[in-house]
Chains A and B, each alone.
Chain A
């Protein structure tokens, strides 16, 4: 079984978001980048399924510039076998999906795993686009993934419940908790990751379909109005008469 795990390089979850003075770009200064937290579920689950089957390969794929390589190496240290970086600015989700679809097709991958969504652009869309480009099913977001031969059984989260879905390879799934316990690299992994293959390839396909004109931060709160704990019921009156939300 050939697994392709797509990882996005995102600001650490503790990052205070700031933009360049013209508000046209995210300000990377001093920001620590990590593997998108959802993608860690995809990566760990692929490694677990490969181990359980006793054969197979796990390839990680990122569409990004050279500054994403530390996190690609981290994915190799966690247990992926090799990596591909499509050397390009990830212009938009459609552009990224085109790159992933092209690599998936060329490498004849059986299982294409992604995270539920990127925590920076929150698109929640690349997996559906890739599935459609390849004409194969996408199961998103998946909370559980088991494989038996070429058939996968997944639990897909829906609002208010879940669906049990069964698909044959090849397919795309986007992963979220509680699929597995994401692994962290150990010393041996970090050592071997240095020599694992990382192939850099140029981008293909059509240009992006969307462009960001400007970023903005949410408006600041006015400040908190404190109510005495002794008089807690007063809060309810304020919520009705002042805030008008109940």
Chain B
């Protein structure tokens, strides 16, 4: 019996959300009196995989098959299923990412497990009862879900748990082969196109987010958002109407019908705070609102606020951050 953790890698680095998942998996293993093994997917680097020991992982399985660099649903599913069988894994933990969800849902059918996605906390285990807390109603609520059966898959929401770092601990990296063949790669993508990331920070994984709404008046003013984001090491985001009129790309749209984010810091600039927008951001730890209308609903959901004009306030904030560093 063990816990199997799926870690996603890109350009040799383990993704931040996967460090959280590794830590989560190690904690679950400790609760169950067992150890956590990781299986790496994507373009991995063995030295970085060994460092997963810092998150409490004891062993990392790595299949050097080069076609596993990009996401291939069938191949990833078979790879992880094979690792789960080899390790007699009772619990599989993965990120609630586009990869994690795609693979987790297939694995749950193939391995006959129960599955909970969007999980925000460590499970409560009492006797046979295994309960996880997950986000529901698009950020407006939580539900405690009981997972049945003796095998379970948990997809952990990004930024909802913290990765621990126990410096100096290393994991054993073991080569592993799921004997994947051409048929397993039949659904491989024809092409992968990556966006230019402002400052290289991905919105879904970001610790800090600076977001703009219609109050920014037009795409030509986004430099103000980008300057503050850059100074803070933050990702940029926007409200739905902003992406609907193409001031910003769709992948920056947060909210109930966009992506939900839960950074440590969310700064909303010229966004009114409609219920659909709040749903996507209200699990952020600290919310700052800058709006010239003191009655803007967003202030009710905020921790800090400035009633003022974004064109006046944003440069001051950027300057203050630069002065701090």
Contact B117 A178 (CB under 8 A): no
A232 at the interface (CB under 8 A from B): yes
* Max chain A C-beta neighbours (<10 A), residue from B148, B251, B300, B304: B304
- Chain B residues 90 to 141 lying within 8 A of chain A, measured CB to CB, are 96-99, 101-106, 108-110, 113-118, 131, 134-141
Take A132-B106, A210-B147 as given contacts and tell me if A164 and B190 are in contact as well, using a CB distance cutoff of 8 Å: yes
Residue of A nearest to B313 (CB): A232
Take A221-B302, A229-B307 as given contacts and tell me if A240 and B324 are in contact as well, using a CB distance cutoff of 8 Å: yes
A222 at the interface (CB under 8 A from B): yes
Number of A interface residues at 8 Å Cβ cutoff, please give it: 74
**8 Å CB contact of A122 from B135, B299, B300:** B135
Residue of B nearest to A11 (CB): B137
Contact B324 A128 (CB under 8 A): no
Residue of B nearest to A229 (CB): B308
Contact A227 B316 (CB under 8 A): no
- Chain A residues 198 to 242 lying within 8 A of chain B, measured CB to CB, are 209-218, 221-222, 224-229, 232-233, 235-240
* Max chain B C-beta neighbours (<10 A), residue from A119, A125, A132: A125
A residues less than 8 Å from B149 (CB atoms): 209
B residues less than 8 Å from A14 (CB atoms): 275-276
How many A-B contacts if CB must be within 8 Å? 250
Take A214-B144, A226-B307 as given contacts and tell me if A121 and B106 are in contact as well, using a CB distance cutoff of 8 Å: no
- Chain B residues 246 to 263 lying within 8 A of chain A, measured CB to CB, are 250-251, 253, 256-257
Q: Which of B25-33, B45-53, B197-205 contacts A (4 or more CB under 8 A)?
A: B197-205
Q: Which of A48-56, A76-84, A136-144 contacts B (4 or more CB under 8 A)?
A: A136-144
CA distance A45 to B282 in the complex (A): 31
For chain B, the bracket of interface size reads 35 or more
Contact A210 B108 (CB under 8 A): no
A17 at the interface (CB under 8 A from B): yes
Take A132-B106, A160-B202, A239-B286 as given contacts and tell me if A165 and B190 are in contact as well, using a CB distance cutoff of 8 Å: yes
A243 at the interface (CB under 8 A from B): yes
A177 at the interface (CB under 8 A from B): yes
**8 Å CB contact of A213 from B131, B190, B306:** B131
Q: How distant is B69 from chain A, measured CB to nearest CB, in Å? A: 12
Contact B288 A235 (CB under 8 A): yes
Take A125-B104, A156-B189 as given contacts and tell me if A214 and B320 are in contact as well, using a CB distance cutoff of 8 Å: no
Take A38-B257, A224-B305 as given contacts and tell me if A235 and B317 are in contact as well, using a CB distance cutoff of 8 Å: yes
A192 at the interface (CB under 8 A from B): no
Contact A209 B140 (CB under 8 A): no
Residue of B nearest to A240 (CB): B324
B265 at the interface (CB under 8 A from A): yes
The 8 A-B pairs at the shortest CB distance, nearest first, are namely A128-B105, A229-B308, A233-B320, A163-B189, A161-B194, A209-B114, A132-B109, A232-B316
Could you name 9 residue pairs across A and B whose Cβ atoms are closer than 8 Å?
Answer: A13-B279, A38-B257, A94-B109, A164-B192, A178-B250, A210-B115, A224-B299, A233-B320, A245-B264
